[in-house]
Structure 1
Amino acid sequence: MSSQRSLNQRLLLWSLGALVLVWGCFVALAYRTGVHEADELTDGQLATVSALLLDVSAQVPSGAIPGSRAQIGALAALPHKNHDYQQSLSAVQWDAAGQVLWQVGEAPVPAFVLEEGYANLVLGPAAQHWRSFSHWDEARAHKIMVMVRLDDRDRLAHDIAGQMVEPALWLLPVVALALGLAIGRGLRPLHQLSQELAQLDVQGAKRLEQHHDWQEFDTVVDSINTLLARQQVALARERQLANDIAHELRTPLAAIVLQAQALGGGLPVPAQAQALELIRTDALRAGHVLQQLLALARTSRGQWHGSASPVDVAALARTVAADYAQAAWQRQDSLAVQGPEQLLVSGHAVLLEMALRNLIENALRHTPPTTQIEVQCGQAMDAHAGPWLQVCDDGARGLAAKAAPMGAKPADSLHLGQEIIARVAQVHGARFGIAAAPAPFTTCYRLDFPVSAKA
């Protein structure tokens, strides 16, 4: 089972998380509002009952109040519970002197006070909590107090609030299901694009078709097609390079086999020496090709991208030129170095040395004897240009290169040397190509480093 997470699940979880958060806040607010409104409803009921009882008692003559206490109590007494929201109320009435005129309900008689309004009382030996509302009549001759148990009031409030919140509890799973279906339906074009990518053959010339109706996919499709085009160009170049390498190796190896067979056939001594010399030459040629292949493989490693360090290109040029001084002397060539005492470039010394050796070797291999070769390096005067390194010569090969356009890619029989230098330039973000040759030189191959390569 794959350990990768699904984008569909991620979107669903984040959406549900946000929904639950908002839903929880609204449910808490609704519950709190329901409790508050239920409490207000109970307080209003207490005020209504107190006004009703005061009105009834006002209609009874003053002298008849003691004898009519039972009648008023019967009016104040509530009937049996016929509704879930019906509450058991208690009431008590005093005269102006604080004498109890009558009392109804299970609540103990509270202490007589002159203040009126709402209050929370603790009454009786059991210390029960009561919610009360007391009110004087207009003549301030009688005061009445209506009470309800606080736990009954709270129970009613929570019941009403729960009835308000219950629909939201059923709504959450329905919204979650609808949200999951909507996200799955909305991501269907992305799943279709993923299937097309999975079926795409990077080795072939097929491209993604831009038949999607969503503009967000246009950039993705264009980027993928651009990568595929670059991949095709790289694959074509690699195939061409492989064919060239196979052809280049086939010739010396076949010659070595033929000369070895001839040596086994009993050649004369002069012919044997000539055959051995040919074998040595072809072996060196094949070895050079293999050495170039190894260098090309080293430049292709991903470890070179990043972790660069300052490299003294001027000192590197002097060191490499000194290594080829003997080969140049044997060909009667002149090999010189021109540049500052120090030129620091941010890069990789191994790759830069490899590129410089290939430039010098190409100059020695593809020019006639007595050629003047010079390794040059320096810093461009333009603030927008970086350091540069080039190898120039005045050989006959420069006559053809002189007509080549600026920046054109140099070519030889196998392109391995140029391919190595081009990849080294790519690692360093530099440009490689033919540059204008200063007199008396006719050909220059140059590496132009970016401004960021200054160390």
Structure 2
Amino acid sequence: MAERAARRPGLVATIAWRIVFFAVVAMAAQLVIVFADYYFDDSELGSLMIERETALLAQGISRKDGQWAFELPASIGGFGPDSPTRVARIRTLDGTRIFSNCGDQCREHLLPEEIDPPDRWTRLLSQGKPIAVAGGRSMQIDGQEVVIEIAILDKNEAVMWRALGHEFADHLAIPMLLQLVLVLGGSLVSTWLAMRPVKAAARQAGAIDPLDPEHKIDISQMPREVAELGVAVNRSLARIGRLMREQKLFTTAVAHEIRTPLAMLQLELGQIDSPRARRMEKDVEGLARFVGQITALGRLEAIERKGFKPIDLAQLGRGVVASMGPWVYDHAHAIAFVENDAGAMLGDRGLLEDALMNLITNAVTHTPPGTEIELGAGPGPRIAVVDKAGLYHAATGDDAPMAKAGDSLGMGLEIVKRIAALHDGRFAISADPATGTMAVLTFPPLAPKPAP
């Protein structure tokens, strides 16, 4: 599921593509509207043609040493000398002629030179397409006012399309692209910032500790709509935690109720002198051990880390060996305690005692009589149970629980593994013919107290 989710496009990418898609649709719609508005209005289109062509002609005007000069720009063509289709006249208000490529056509299509021309003027010379138009405008060049007048008599629409393209680029494409960049950038940044607490919540959900019923998702920085989902997840976690606690309480209570009849049954069987009674005693002992493990498991899952206290592992190991010694000797085994510069750690003493007792019980139960068992503390926050038999073999491909199929070893080792996880520690078990079977619990060291 995680891999499938990783292959799905992100929200930021989805929003980006949708903004770009609808922006392109909007630009296409606006392009059609603007085109229809200009193309079917010959008067407005003629004004655009005059404005565009006069602006291009103005690029060729210069003044050196008080003398006017003109050179036809490379970006515009058709205004050569005696051109029959494009007429141009450039002059100053005092009558100085800078450029002209016409004779009678100037008098026919342009304003008389003795008339003071308006700032802008346009006159259609025909109806329909292609558009024939005359017009002009005044422009400030080198601090003086220059009048540029033209007449376009082409039988093609090249000038019209050039004017339309310039209008689309200047007044439609560039503003729309700028707006798209700002809207897209703002939307992506806003979405990315809004999704940061959601990503943090996803990481929190992935790191939820099943042994910590108080672990919840932080929704303090989430947007309101997403926070509602976080609240629902937290409510579900609380309900699941409550259900699990009730189930554990029920299981533990049942195990507690069974322990007393089992103890009485063991006492009664001890009074019967019969081989069958001895076989039943072993079965009852195994059942009592299993019930004890269920009780320990229920107690484990009811513990919270906030109640942990510093524990000296050497002192813990001595206490376990002292309490388990008689039972070990009764089963024809030997046990010893070895200290090797043991450290301290933060944890629950009762749970750690349960873990070590489970390991010692497994070592006694699954090894032949006379096996030597050693409980070693250290170096550092480490404690291990070693038996010299070395008979342990983990089931192939079976990491949790680490057990041999067909016996009760798995329950005990699973409890030990969970106790280690609750203390942020590691549990490893291995067998070496030279040293025996070694079950090792390694914990984080106890943090030093801050200096006053």
Q: What's the TM-score bracket when you normalise by the shorter of the two chains?
A: 0.3 to 0.5
Greater gyration radius: 1
TM-score (normalizing by structure 1) = 0.39
Question: When the two structures are superposed, what TM-score results if normalisation uses the length of structure 2?
Answer: 0.39
Q: Which has the higher contact order (CA 8 A, sep 6+)?
A: 1
